[in-house]
Amino acid sequence: MTLRPLSLNDRLFVSEYLHRFPPEVSELTFTNLYAWRRTRPIWIDILNESLIFFAETRTGLVILGNPVGPVSLAEVFREYGSRITGAERFPKAMLTNLSLPPGVTVVEDRDNFDYVYSREELVTLAGRNFTKKRNHINQCLAAYPCRYEIITSETVSECLSMLDRWCAVRDCRGEPGLCGEYQAIEETLRHYQEFGLTGGAIRIEGSIEAFTVGEALNPTTAVCHFEKATPRFQGLGQLINQWFARNNLAAFTYVNREQDLGITGLRQSKESYHPDHLVEKVRVILSGSNSERPDQHPRCG
């Protein structure tokens, strides 16, 4: 075993693997893996020309997502044996015809299903399903002088300032999940240009009051990593969602807006946008392993 912690120096190496074997689950981007490493430490290894990510959780060391490359999950289990407790966020579709060792338990992980939307629907918001979204946006535009701009290295500091204001209202320091998310967003923005991300922001009277950041997940799908809007501006969240899809994601058919973590309000919000499909995930628990769920972290809402 040649496990080593994920580092910033691994970016090109990891990205090359993900380019050769495009993922479906939102966890498998270098940005996601690196930005969340303080609350979810990541280790990497190579087995049979495949890149494998491991996460430290309360259950022990687990495979995160699917192996990136030709190696099967069963081969990884055989190689690492008792040194790991199973796999998390594994795409359910990849279980087909997969021969797993005896005693393995597979549990559907509904809270971590990815919501994937038609980019065109996010832009047009056409039809009765989106009447409320259109109304919120129209009310926002009527009430506030909103101006959209692409995030650049010069405006990252303003987005960080807006994040500080958002966290002051939500008391991020007193909430472990929000504190971890703050650290991940800060890490992402500080490496915005280096990671090749795309982002958009909305100014109201000169001040950035909403921003969102994403990137390519695979050739047809973009992933939205984070989205924040100042709560006092009604409809601003719906507006940044629409304008980001329109202005930054025209090259993609779909937008993956990550999971709801089982949070009731977040699930309702994501379902209200009527996803095209869900990327279903499972937990694979090896015999004798503790099945306690790992920590959850808030994501793009």
- DSSP states along 209-223: EEEEEEEEEETTEEE
C-alpha span between 140 and 236 (Å, rounded): 6
Confidence at residue 82, expressed as pLDDT on a 0 to 100 scale: 87
Distance spanning both ends of the chain, measured CA to CA: 38
| CA atoms of 281 and 137, how far apart (whole Å) | 33
Contact 121, 97 (CB under 8 A): no
Per DSSP, which regions of 151-294 are E strands?
198-204, 207-218, 221-229, 254-256, 277-279, 281-285
Dihedral (CA of 104, 106, 107, 109) sign: positive
Domain with CATH 3.40.630.30 in the chain: 4-113+280-285, 115-278
User: How high is the pLDDT of residue 301?
Assistant: 40
H helices present in 82-174, as ranges: 119-124, 131-143, 156-170
Report pLDDT for 297.
47
Distances (CA, A) of 236 to 52, 59, 134, 181: 39, 39, 11, 20
Confidence at residue 290, expressed as pLDDT on a 0 to 100 scale: 57
pLDDT for residue 176: 79
Q: Could you tell me the two tokens for 267?
A: 């699930």
Question: What is this structure's pTM?
Answer: 0.93
Residues 4-113+280-285, CATH architecture: 3-Layer(aba) Sandwich (3.40)
Residue by residue, pLDDT tens for the chain (301 residues) are 589 999 999 999 999 999 999 999 999 999 999 999 999 999 999 999 999 999 999 878 999 999 999 999 999 999 998 899 999 999 999 998 777 878 899 999 999 999 999 999 999 999 999 999 999 999 999 999 999 999 999 999 999 999 999 999 888 877 878 888 999 999 999 999 999 999 999 999 999 999 999 999 999 999 999 999 999 999 999 999 999 999 999 999 999 999 999 999 999 999 999 999 999 999 999 986 655 554 444 444 4
Side-chain-side CA neighbours of 233 within 13 Å: the count stands at: 26
The strands making up 146-150's β-sheet, listed across from edge to edge, are 146-150, 198-204, 207-218, 221-229, 254-256, 114-118, 277-279
3.40.630.30, 3.40.50.720, 3.40.190.10, 3.30.930.10: CATH of 115-278: 3.40.630.30
